[in-house]
């Protein structure tokens, strides 16, 4: 068993009433109707964020697996319910702390095994928990955006047959990517988690992500 798996299981065990990764104890969410499809325009390869590269270096095996054929989530009412429940649970159980206060560095991507973290830590945990639940890796894409203040922010893009949605630590609602108000910069490729691609018109990437 790898370090990351042990740590995440320890995080889940801390909530004694949760099974596995706590999904059985997540609050019930109302199933949404079929949303209108909206897909982001993906462009040329982009430089992977330093935080992701460093995360892969520190967590041996976490970023292995090679290329896969693109695969979207079939966005049924059940899938919507599960995605929203997990998003709400992680947002409610992790204390927001800036990397500088948490790790002593400006930007570090990691699992919030001490129940503290900032935006990319929330997204990484959501991605891992959804992978454990059987959602395809190709549809769970770490993403870098710029917020209204032009500051860097990270979230998880959910690629589905009915469009692209985001799980965001600043919002408990699963939103369509084009209704977030963010300027999307780059994200993981569906076929290769270590290849990042531009989103929309090229724009300078933020030096780091926070919040």
Predicted TM-score (pTM) of the model is: 0.83
Is residue 173 situated within a structural domain? yes
Average pLDDT over residues 94-99: 96
Q: What CATH number has the domain bearing residue 169?
A: 3.10.620.30
**Domain assignment present for 85:** yes
Closest CA to 87 of 129, 33, 138: 129
Domain for residue 20, yes or no?
Answer: no
d(CA 192, CA 37) in angstroms, rounded, equals 24
**DSSP bridge partners of 186:** 144, 198
For 156-166, letters b (16+ CB in 10 Å) and e give bbbbbebbbbb
pLDDT of residue 84: 96
Which residues have CB under 8 Å from 122's CB, separation 6+?
90, 91, 94, 112, 169
Mean pLDDT along residues 62-89 = 95
Which residues form the domain of 76?
A: 37-199
Closest by alpha carbon to 40, among 170, 159, 207, 135? Answer: 159
Q: Which pLDDT score, from 0 to 100, does residue 199 have?
A: 95
CA separation for the pair 208, 206 (Å, rounded): 5
For the segment 40-62, the average pLDDT, to the nearest whole number, is 94
**Cα(99)–Cα(2) distance, integer angstroms:** 24
**Is residue 77 over pLDDT 70?**
yes
Q: Is residue 211 part of a domain?
A: no
Q: Which of 90-99, 149-158, 164-173, 196-205 has the lowest mean pLDDT?
A: 196-205
- Between 206 and 147, name the one with better pLDDT: 147
pLDDT range class, residue 66, cuts 50, 70, 90: confident
Domain presence at residue 54: yes
Residue whose pair of structure tokens reads 């009433």 in the numeric block: 17
Mean pLDDT of all residues in 141-151: 94
Query: Total domain count for the chain?
Result: 1
Whether 28 maps to a domain, the answer reads no
Mean pLDDT of the chain: 85
Q: What is the pLDDT of residue 211?
A: 60
Alpha-carbon 95 to chain mean position: 16
Q: Report the alpha-carbon distance of residue 166 to residue 164 in Å, rounded.
A: 7
Domain assignment present for 141: yes
């Amino acid at each position: 068993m790898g370090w990351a798996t042990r740590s995440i299981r320890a995080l889940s065990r801390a909530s004694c009433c949760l099974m596995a990764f706590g999904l059985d104890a997540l609050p019930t969410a109302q199933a949404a109707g079929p949303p209108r499809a909206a897909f982001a325009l993906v462009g040329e390869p982009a430089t992977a964020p330093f935080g992701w590269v460093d995360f892969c270096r520190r967590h041996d095996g976490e970023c292995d697996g090679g290329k896969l054929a693109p695969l979207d989530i079939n966005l049924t009412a059940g899938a919507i319910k599960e995605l929203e429940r997990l998003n709400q649970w992680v947002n409610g159980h992790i204390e927001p702390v800036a990397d500088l206060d948490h790790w002593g560095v400006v930007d570090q991507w990691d699992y919030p095994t001490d129940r503290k973290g900032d935006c990319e830590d929330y997204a990484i945990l959501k991605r891992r928990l959804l992978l454990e639940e059987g959602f395809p890796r190709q549809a769970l894409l770490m993403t870098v955006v710029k917020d209204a203040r032009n500051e860097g922010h990270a979230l998880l893009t959910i690629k589905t047959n009915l469009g692209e949605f985001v799980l965001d630590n600043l919002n408990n609602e699963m939103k369509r990517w084009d209704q977030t108000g963010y300027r999307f910069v780059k994200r993981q490729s569906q076929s290769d988690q270590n290849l990042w691609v531009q989103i929309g018109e090229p724009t300078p990437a933020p030096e780091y992500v926070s919040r």
